[in-house]
Structure 1
Amino acid sequence: MTGVDLKPSDEFEFKPGHGKVLLLACGALAREIVDLIERNRWSAFDLQCLPAKWHNTPEKIVPALRAKIAAARGRYQSIFVLYGDCGTGGALDRLLAEEGVERIAGPHCYAFFSGNVEFETHADDDVTAFFLTDYLARHFDKLIWQGLGLDRHPELLPDYFGNYTKIVFLAQTRNEDLTRQAEDAAKRLGLGFEYRFTGYGDLESDLAQRAEA
């Protein structure tokens, strides 16, 4: 199963054993979560992922998570959500407070892949940065170029990216092909390029704590 890669429109379920903790996650994290579960032989988790493309329509995220949480009640000892706010304007955190469900700390996956503390140390330098992860580099065309309509309306490029100066590629794996794709994305957007290897950051440490609980 390692190497799973979802299309941005895919939902995904992964039940390697008899999980007592349900992970509800963005599909953009599926590959990394499955890799961590398999590499560490964690048996505590079942995983359900919502479509990654919903970052372009974040109003869909909270209702879908509400339904997933309701369906899981009584079937798991706990539920853990692997999303940042992700454009929900605080609605996700309000839902989770109502439901008594925790989520990973951090405003978005760029922060928890970097490590939230480390991400903050770069905050001033990155104020005009557009971030890519492994997933976003792999699916740049579908999620960003086509998702924002730049394939049909390239004249919109300054409207979307005129205030950015660089792409920062936060790499979860050391992959030369993905690095080249991220560099190409920067060229297409007319931006500078910076590479940072993050690994899985707080995603790994947070899951490790829950696997051992």
Structure 2
Amino acid sequence: MTPDDILTRKGRAPEGRGKVLALACGALAREIGALIEANGWDHLDLACLPAILHNTPDAIPARVEEAVLRHRAAYARIFVVYADCGTGGRLRATCDRLGVEMIEGPHCYAFFEGTDSFLARAEDEFRAFYLTDFLTRQFEAFVIAPLGLDRHPELRDMYFGHYKKLVYQAQTDDAALTEKARACADRLGLAFERRFTGYGDLARALARA
């Protein structure tokens, strides 16, 4: 395990019984942990790669492969909890070559909402900017700082001038988090919409895994 491979043990399966490893994006750690606890999935362990990899999606396939090879001897099965996430099909090709399954969909915004529902809205929402619970909590670190808006707020309209609204896909019913998401929309100069999605296809995919 490397320093930036965050391994959170959730399973409590007895010795000799095969376990499943969910190898996931760190942005999903809280949600997957909640699903494991709520459903009593004692056979399922969770290992997360750093969420910041989404800023360099070309690196995701190699990092996933490295983690699969490192952990696969200890598990009967590994399920990769990433969608395509900007890899242009390279992550799917890597998972197919390694013989491991991965979650369907283009990105987490789609599978939280339900990929079919998200794609059905896509033509009408091409000017929407999306936040999840994780991105709302980490707005400064994952949106503002990487775009340099903390240092150059005048660049906001260059980045977001073509967007129309911010859609907050809420995984949990948290009033404080909703207000934070609304403040994020105000900061970007966008209209605000809250859409309660729960865990969407993520819950169904993990249940099958």
TM-score w.r.t. length of structure 2: 0.91
For structure 1, the 5+ residue unaligned runs are 1-8
How far apart, in 2, do the equivalents of 1:120 and 1:88 lie? 18
Higher mean C-alpha displacement, 150-159 vs 78-87: 150-159
Distance 1:10 1:75 in 2: 19
Note the alpha carbon deviations across 1:162-195, whole angstroms, 9 max, x for none. Answer: 2211100000000011111111111111111111
Aligned residue runs from structure 1 range 56-135, under 5 A? 56-135=55-134
Residue pairs, 1:1-213, within 5 angstroms: 11-16=5-10, 17-18=12-13, 20-210=19-209
Query: Matched residue of 2:109: which SS?
Result: helix
Amino acid at match of 2:155: L
Percent identical: 52
Q: Which whole-Å CA distance do the structure 2 matches of 1:137 and 1:42 have between them?
A: 27
Q: What one-letter code is carried by the residue in structure 1 that aligns with 2:65? A: R
Residue deviations 1:64-116, cap 9 Å, x none?
11111111233211111111111222221121121111111111101111111
Greater than 3 Å deviation, 4+ residue runs: none
The residue type paired with residue 168 of structure 1 is V
- Post-superposition shift, 1:60? 2.4
Q: 1:119: how far off?
A: 1.2
How many residues are paired up? 202
**Structure 2 unaligned regions, length at least 5:** none
Once the 2 structures are TM-superposed, how far is the Cα of residue 10 of structure 1 from its aligned partner? Answer: 6.2
CA distance in 1, matches of 2:113, 2:25: 17
**Is the CA contact (8 Å cut-off) linking 1:82 and 1:103 kept in structure 2?**
yes
- Per the normalisation by structure 1, the TM-score is 0.90
Amino acid at match of 2:166: I
What amino acid is the match of 1:93?
R
- In the alignment, residue 12 of structure 1 is paired with which amino acid? I
1:5 alignment partner in structure 2:
none
